[in-house]
């Protein structure tokens, strides 16, 4: 795998005290993996439910109170997933950064976050006037969101296999 | 399952299948039809997450042997000092399908004691 030197910042991270303890502690690494999984389960699970509601499923549930419950869950899940992900990354940063599945995952997450900004600076500003049916623009961002986050999970799992 | 859900599920499963054929971790990337047993002196060892590794020179060939995660190694009695450089070790494992110097180890024999790693 060592055909090309990784940028030194990743090598520095890997050789830091953090990287060292992540590699050497038998129980820390699996514990962080579990928290990473809980983080993205909460993140993608809450996003999936809200996106499906916007796309027309579960019409009996009003959108604003549903969003009031699910969006904070998404944010909390994201913060947990990304912070635990950083810890896992530190254990083997110089190799993982060159992994095509990891690179794809970062791009997918960046695209998904850009989609969040677009959705909430656009159609979501008028959520109170939707009358239980999301407009086309909101549906489009919901569909994009659903696909991007699910693809991010796939790419993440494939890091270990590529 | 409704037939459309089943069809979706099956097509998804089919599209993901090739990934297992090129697996690095797990066992999919290793050729179980070419299992081998060798004994040698450990040159380098890393008792680290996500997998412990040892390097050995056997009949002029330099091998990287991928073992289990540290937590499983400890649970099965394979402590860091047992796989330290200089120790003699017997390994039974499978060569990687595309990396000629890497193999995944199913069990090791240390001081006459067999330790399962799978």
pLDDT bracket for residue B25 (50, 70, 90) = low
Q: Which of B26, B69, B73 sits opposite A161 (nearest CB)?
A: B26
The alpha carbon of residue A1 is apart from the nearest alpha carbon of chain B, in Å, by 9
Would strands B88-95 and B61-66 be described as parallel, antiparallel, or unpaired? unpaired
Task: Say yes or no for a CB contact (<8 Å) between A26 and B74.
Answer: yes
Using a CB-CB distance cutoff of 8 angstroms, which residues of chain A are in contact with residue B48?
A: 23-24, 91
What are the residue ranges in chain A where pLDDT is below 50?
1-2
pLDDT at residue number B111: 87
pLDDT bracket for residue B26 (50, 70, 90) = confident
Element (H, E) at A63: helix A63-91
**Cβ within 8 Å of residue A57, ≥6 positions away:** none
**pLDDT score of B8 more than 60:** no
Length of chain A in terms of residues written: 162
Q: What is the DSSP string of chain B?
A: --HHHHHHHHHHHHHHHHHHHT-SSTTTTB-GGG-EEEEEEEEEEE--SS--EEEEEETTEEEEEE---HHHHHHTT--GGGGSTT-EEEEEEEEBSS-TTEEEEEEEEETTEEEE--
Q: Which of A22, A91, A162 sits opposite B22 (nearest CB)?
A: A162
pLDDT bracket for residue B23 (50, 70, 90) = very low
**pLDDT score of B5 more than 70:** no
pLDDT at residue number A45: 98
Q: Which of B24, B70, B71 sits opposite A162 (nearest CB)?
A: B24
pLDDT at residue number A85: 98
Domain ranges of chain B: 3-116
pLDDT at residue number B101: 95
pLDDT at residue number B3: 58
Chain segment A55-89, per-residue pLDDT in tens: 999 999 999 999 999 999 999 999 999 999 999 99
Report how far Cα A132 is from the mean position of its chain's Cα atoms: 27
Which tops the pLDDT comparison, A81 or B27?
A81
pLDDT bracket for residue B28 (50, 70, 90) = confident
CATH class of the domain whose range is B3-116: mainly beta
**pLDDT score of B52 more than 90:** yes
Using a CB-CB distance cutoff of 8 angstroms, which residues of chain A are in contact with residue B76?
A: none
Lowest mean pLDDT among A102-106, A123-127, B53-57, B106-110: A123-127
Using a CB-CB distance cutoff of 8 angstroms, which residues of chain B are in contact with residue A92?
A: 50
Q: Which of B19, B47, B71 sits opposite A161 (nearest CB)?
A: B19
Indicate the average pLDDT of chain B.
85
pLDDT bracket for residue B84 (50, 70, 90) = very high
Contact, A54 vs A139, CB < 8 A?
A: yes
- Please give the structure tokens belonging to residue B31: 């050729």
**pLDDT score of B66 more than 90:** yes
Contact, A119 vs A145, CB < 8 A?
A: yes
Q: Over range B76-102, report the average pLDDT.
A: 95
* Chain A positions with Cβ closer than 8 Å to B: 22-27, 29-30, 91-92, 154, 158, 160-162
Q: Over range B33-52, report the average pLDDT.
A: 95
**pLDDT score of B15 more than 90:** no
């Amino acid at each position: 795998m060592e055909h090309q030197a990784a940028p030194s910042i990743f090598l520095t991270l890997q050789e830091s005290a953090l990287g060292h303890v992540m590699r050497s502690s038998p129980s820390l690494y699996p514990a962080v993996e579990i928290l990473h999984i809980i983080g993205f389960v909460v993140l993608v699970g809450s996003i999936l439910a809200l996106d499906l509601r916007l796309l027309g499923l579960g019409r009996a549930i009003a959108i604003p109170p549903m969003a009031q419950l699910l969006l904070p869950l998404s944010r909390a899940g994201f913060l947990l997933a990304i912070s635990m992900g950083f810890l896992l990354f530190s254990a083997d940063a110089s190799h993982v950064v060159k992994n095509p599945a990891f690179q794809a995952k970062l791009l997918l997450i960046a695209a998904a976050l850009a989609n969040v900004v677009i959705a909430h600076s656009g159609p979501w500003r008028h959520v109170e006037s939707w009358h239980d049916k999301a407009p086309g623009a909101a549906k489009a961002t919901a569909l994009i969101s659903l696909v991007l986050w699910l693809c991010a999970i796939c790419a993440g799992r494939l890091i270990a296999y590529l | 399952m409704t037939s459309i859900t089943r069809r979706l599920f099956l097509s998804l499963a089919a599209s993901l299948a090739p990934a297992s054929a090129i697996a690095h971790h797990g066992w999919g990337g290793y050729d179980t039809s070419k299992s081998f047993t060798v004994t040698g002196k450990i040159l380098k060892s890393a008792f680290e997450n996500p997998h412990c590794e040892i390097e050995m020179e056997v009949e002029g060939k330099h091998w990287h042997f991928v073992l289990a995660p540290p937590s499983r190694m400890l649970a099965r009695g394979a402590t860091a000092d047992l796989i330290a450089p200089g120790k003699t070790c017997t390994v039974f494992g499978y060569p990687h399908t595309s990396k000629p110097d890497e193999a995944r180890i199913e069990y090791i024999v240390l001081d006459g004691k067999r330790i399962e790693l799978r």
